[in-house]
Amino acid sequence: MTRRALIAGNWKMNGLSADLGWAQDVCAGLPHPLPGDVVVCPPATLLFPFKVALKDSVVEMGAQDCSCFKGGAFTGDLSATMLKDIGCRYVIVGHSERREGHGESDANVRTKAEAALSAGLIPIICLGETLEQRESGKAEAIVTQQLRHSVPQVHGADVVIAYEPIWAIGTGKTATAQDAQALHAALRAAWPYEGAEALRILYGGSVKPDNAQDLLAQKDIDGALVGGASLNAQDFLDIIKHIA
């Protein structure tokens, strides 16, 4: 079956109101018709301004994290229902920077994904191995184990998986297109529920205009989760054009 490509921009802890011109530049530069889905995940402070800036646009909005709780005494947290209410369609969960910096386990990630699905959001569930794990030949075992433990029981069409080798995030290093394809194919083969062929699997980790074409040409790579390059409108557009 044909899976619709997805390019998602993760701004991480970057962006101020002065940067909202990005939305106009990206929307003006998108190919028509758009051959895939495009989503931007700005910091929480910019979610509402982006909702306004993207009005009537095909670019959708996502958040970078959500609480596993529906509401209550959880100071500083944002529930999936709140994110849905403000206009998000997607939410990233389980990014390695959350797993490492905030001690999130596979079980935590799974409960967040469940909360997102209950609120009507599409979770982008991140998986990835360290350089030590890859060099020891354990990459596939580690990542498929994360898949089994981080993803709730759901049809493949209802979630997105993002494979982001930790050693490639923000380092300028990128898995070769062939290595990335091999891991994506292993994840699809290891999908424990129905809908493996409908499951969209993105590659993330120093995706840039100059490597996006080779990555996105692979059979099991259905798009990209773009970090730093998504902050620059032209770079982001150049990546998007490779799904055409």
Contacts for 140 with CB less than 8 Å, ≥ 6 apart: 182, 183, 186
Q: 203 by DSSP, 3-state: which?
A: strand
Centre a 10 Å sphere on the Cβ of residue 203 and count the other Cβ atoms it contains: 29
Would residue 164 show up in a list of annotated catalytic residues for this protein?
yes
83 contacts 121 by C-beta, under 8 angstroms:
yes
Q: Which of 4, 5, 3, 2 is nearest to 225 (CA)?
A: 5
Would residue 104 show up in a list of annotated catalytic residues for this protein?
no
Alpha helices (H) along the chain: 21-29, 47-53, 80-86, 96-101, 106-118, 131-135, 139-150, 177-190, 209-216, 233-240
Q: Which of 179, 178, 175, 183 is nearest to 207 (CA)?
A: 175
Write down the catalytic residue from 60, 114, 164, 184.
164
Write down the catalytic residue from 95, 97, 114, 184.
95
Q: 167 by DSSP, 3-state: which?
A: helix
Q: Hey, which residues are catalytic here? A: 95, 164
